[in-house]
């Protein structure tokens, strides 16, 4: 699992957008779009960070947001809309998107990079 916060970890409440996916064999343009969407998301007002875990063909990506308004603005971003269309048409066999409110978050210890 990789977790990256934009600044310090947020204090609850905040929102998590959980994206569970299984990739198809049709991945033309996927890596480039994924990198671009990560860069664009991090520029959005209300973006707090992300967690990611997975294997080459399936994974879970969680983005964290200050509020629902920030999520709605990201959903309306033209690049994100295009990436979602490409995902539906070719990149994913399956995906499930969940929006959840984080009421409480507890962090203990220090995250050590490189531990698997």
Looking at the domain assignment, is residue 112 inside a domain?
no
pLDDT in tens, 11-46: 999 999 999 999 999 999 999 999 999 999 999 999
56: confidence class by pLDDT, cuts 50, 70, 90: confident
pLDDT confidence of residue 115? 56
Select from 35, 31, 34, 3 the least CA-distant residue to 16.
3
Q: How far apart are CA 7 and CA 64, in angstroms?
A: 12
Looking at the domain assignment, is residue 39 inside a domain?
yes
User: What's the whole-number mean pLDDT along residues 49-55?
Assistant: 94
pLDDT in tens, 102-114: 999 988 887 666 5
Give the 3-state secondary structure percentages of the chain, helix then strand then coil, rounded to 5: 30, 35, 35
Range(s) of the domain holding residue 49? 2-102
pLDDT in tens, 59-102: 999 999 999 999 999 999 999 999 999 999 999 999 999 999 99
The answer to pTM > 0.85 is yes
CATH of the domain at 86: 3.30.70.100
pLDDT confidence of residue 107? 85
Looking at the domain assignment, is residue 115 inside a domain?
no
Looking at the domain assignment, is residue 31 inside a domain?
yes
Select from 4, 69, 80, 10 the least CA-distant residue to 40.
80
Cα distances (angstroms) measured from residue 109 to each of 61, 106, 112: 23, 10, 9
Domain tally for the chain? 1
114: CB partners within 8 A, 6+ apart: none
Phi/psi for 87 (5° steps) reads -60, -45
pLDDT confidence of residue 63? 98
Answer yes or no: are the C-beta atoms of 99 and 17 closer than 8 Å. Answer: yes
């Amino acid at each position: 699992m990789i977790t990256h916060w934009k600044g310090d970890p947020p204090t609850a409440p905040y929102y998590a957008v959980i994206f569970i996916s299984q990739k198809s064999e049709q991945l033309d343009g996927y890596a480039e779009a994924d990198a671009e969407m990560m860069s664009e998301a991090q520029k959005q007002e209300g973006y707090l960070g992300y967690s990611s875990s997975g294997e080459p063909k399936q994974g879970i990506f969680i983005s964290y947001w200050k509020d629902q308004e920030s999520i709605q603005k990201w959903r309306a971003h033209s690049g994100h809309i295009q990436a979602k269309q490409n995902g539906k048409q070719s990149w994913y066999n399956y995906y499930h998107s969940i929006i959840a409110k984080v009421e409480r978050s507890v962090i203990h210890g220090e995250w050590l990079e490189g531990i698997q």
